[in-house]
């Protein structure tokens, strides 16, 4: 048996939770779940680091739900109106909806109430009703959670477990002020609950009446010891970001896989060298070819994501696809929350098979039918590259990634390729001078090995008839075997 087949769920999980996992098809844990659960189920604050598509959502949901069951037993009460016991904080609505979907499936079996609160979803009065009805787990973006708290619609006093998804983004990319407010409020409430608990326990030794009187005068439930747990998750984290996180939350245990900052082995990568004037034609060629290939291999629901660095880039790609009559969805910062949600739903539900987006969708998006990623713009860093192409090849599956490489991106693309071939971490890969030596192109009889003679007037054609650029524009292709080939296309 393989090590994967020998993995079993932690015996510390309650039978009701185990039963829910089995009914939902989670027969055994992933590597990061098996590594992290022994620590998180003990109530320890933990930073969980693992490559994309490895099951980090369950890694924080399972201990959070376990904590809920324990609190229910200790206090003899369910969560009170407007006072959840678990808080899950996410950077975007898109990721929040995804986490909410998984949490609701689990909590349906375990009879806990979970609600999501994001900008652009329902009115504040409607969200107030959900909170006043009582919910055990609240999922939301930092700004929306703070707004609800400022209006006294959401109280952090009973929160005893906080999960922060995409922690590197949350602590370094503009969410810090809102996140710090929440952390301070939760920490203060936890400390007050712990102090009250100690006083009650001390008074019980001398006077049960005095202990009961003190307990009645506090907002905290009897049996609530105030113990607070943080669980942070990330698929990447730079050293400077990790220092920020551990400074704000100094007691974190770090659990990570050996392949952190590596590209999943099932993703076949291809880099296409282009001049700016060629980018439109190459993009359209690759979109048609990729969609045809993945739908031929994986069925009609297979989809493609196209990443752009800017809103202007998204608009340009949108116009080119529209001009060619290619149906697609598009999401970026210039689109309203409602329209973004509608566009994403059309894509997730399989009504549209191409999604054009900025990095807003690169973090945490887990849609099984995404079988190919196209970088219209090369990302600015190797970390962003990991997140983007990690939208495919999820959970050990196969996926394809194509990057259009303009001259100014060539050094970074080469160094990413070399790091992948040599099975190095991409954490410190940059375009800086001290990085790796350039890749050598092997030339045999005037041709690159495995390619065809370049031509300015002729284009290669795939078996399906789609036009492709000459081989000089397909300067290297990386497969899961670690070998690099210069070819004009994937084998059909």
* Per-residue pLDDT tens over the stretch 142-185: 999 999 999 999 999 999 999 999 999 999 888 999 999 999 99
* Per-residue pLDDT tens over the stretch 273-285: 999 999 999 999 9
Q: Quote the pLDDT of residue 460.
A: 33
With 90 as the cut, is the pLDDT of residue 222 above it? no
Domain 267-485, what architecture?
Answer: 3-Layer(aba) Sandwich (3.40)
The CATH superfamily label for domain 3-256 reads P-loop containing nucleotide triphosphate hydrolases (3.40.50.300)
Q: How high does pLDDT run on average in the chain?
A: 84
* Per-residue pLDDT tens over the stretch 393-414: 998 899 999 999 999 999 999 9
Which tokens sit at 318? 């949108």
* Per-residue pLDDT tens over the stretch 418-464: 999 999 999 989 988 654 444 433 333 333 333 333 333 323 333 33
Distance CA 103, CA 107 (A): 6
pTM over 0.75: yes
User: How would residue 193 be classed by pLDDT, with cut points 50, 70 and 90?
Assistant: confident
Sequence ranges of the chain with CATH classification 3.40.50.300 = 3-256, 267-485
Contact between 266 and 199 under an 8 Å Cβ cutoff? The reply is no
* Per-residue pLDDT tens over the stretch 232-252: 999 999 888 899 999 999 999
What is each CA distance from 259 to 221, 256, 350, in whole angstroms? 43, 8, 31
End-to-end Cα spacing for the chain: 33
Q: Quote the pLDDT of residue 253.
A: 96
With 90 as the cut, is the pLDDT of residue 310 above it? yes
Percentage of the chain modeled with pLDDT above 70: 80
Across 369-380, b (16+ Cβ under 10 Å) vs e yields: bbbbbbbbbbbe
Average pLDDT, stretch 95-99?
Answer: 94
User: How would residue 265 be classed by pLDDT, with cut points 50, 70 and 90?
Assistant: confident
């Amino acid at each position: 048996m393989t090590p994967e087949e020998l993995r079993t769920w932690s015996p510390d999980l309650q039978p009701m939770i185990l039963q829910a996992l089995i009914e939902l098809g989670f027969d055994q844990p992933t590597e990061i779940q098996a590594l992290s659960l022994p620590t998180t189920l003990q109530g320890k604050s933990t930073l969980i680091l693992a490559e994309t598509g490895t099951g980090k959502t369950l890694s924080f949901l399972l201990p959070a739900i376990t904590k809920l069951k324990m609190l229910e037993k200790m206090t003899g009460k369910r969560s009170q109106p407007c006072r959840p016991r678990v808080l899950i904080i996410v950077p975007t609505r898109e990721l929040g909806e995804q986490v909410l979907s998984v949490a609701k499936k689990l909590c349906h079996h375990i009879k806990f109430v979970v609600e999501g609160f994001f900008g652009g979803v329902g009115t504040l009065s409607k969200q107030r009703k959900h909170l006043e009805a009582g919910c055990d787990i609240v999922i939301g973006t930092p700004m929306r959670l703070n707004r609800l708290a400022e209006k006294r619609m959401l109280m952090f006093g009973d929160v005893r477990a906080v999960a922060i998804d995409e922690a590197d983004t949350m602590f370094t990319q503009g969410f810090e002020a809102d996140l710090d407010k929440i952390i301070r409020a939760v920490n203060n409430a936890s400390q007050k609950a712990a102090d009250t608990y100690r006083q009650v326990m001390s008074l019980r030794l001398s006077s049960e009446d005095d202990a009961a009187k003190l307990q009645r005068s506090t907002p905290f439930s009897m049996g609530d010891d105030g113990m607070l747990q943080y669980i942070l998750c990330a698929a990447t984290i730079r050293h400077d970001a990790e220092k920020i996180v551990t400074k704000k939350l100094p007691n974190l245990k770090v659990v990570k896989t050996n392949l952190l900052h590596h590209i999943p082995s099932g993703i076949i990568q291809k880099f296409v060298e282009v001049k700016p004037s060629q980018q439109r034609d190459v993009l359209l060629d690759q979109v048609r070819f990729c969609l045809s290939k993945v739908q031929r291999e994986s069925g009609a629901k297979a989809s493609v994501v196209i990443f752009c660095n800017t809103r202007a880039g998204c608009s340009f790609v949108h116009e080119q696809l529209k001009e060619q009559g290619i149906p697609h969805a598009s999401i970026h910062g210039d689109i309203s929350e409602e329209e973004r949600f509608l566009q994403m739903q059309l894509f997730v539900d399989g009504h549209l098979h191409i999604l054009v987006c900025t990095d807003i969708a690169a973090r945490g998006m887990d849609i099984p039918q995404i079988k190919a990623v196209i970088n219209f713009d090369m990302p600015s860093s190797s970390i962003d590259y990991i997140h983007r192409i990690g939208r495919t090849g999820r959970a050990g599956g196969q996926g394809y990634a194509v990057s259009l490489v303009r001259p100014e991106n060539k050094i970074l693309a080469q160094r990413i390729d070399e790091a992948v071939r040599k099975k190095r971490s991409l954490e410190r890969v940059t375009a800086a001078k001290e990085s790796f030596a350039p890749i050598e192109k092997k030339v045999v009889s005037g041709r690159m090995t495995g390619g065809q003679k370049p031509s300015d007037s002729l284009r290669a054609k795939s078996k399906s008839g789609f036009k492709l650029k000459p081989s000089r524009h397909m300067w290297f292709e990386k497969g899961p075997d670690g070998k690099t080939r210069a070819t004009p296309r994937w084998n059909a």
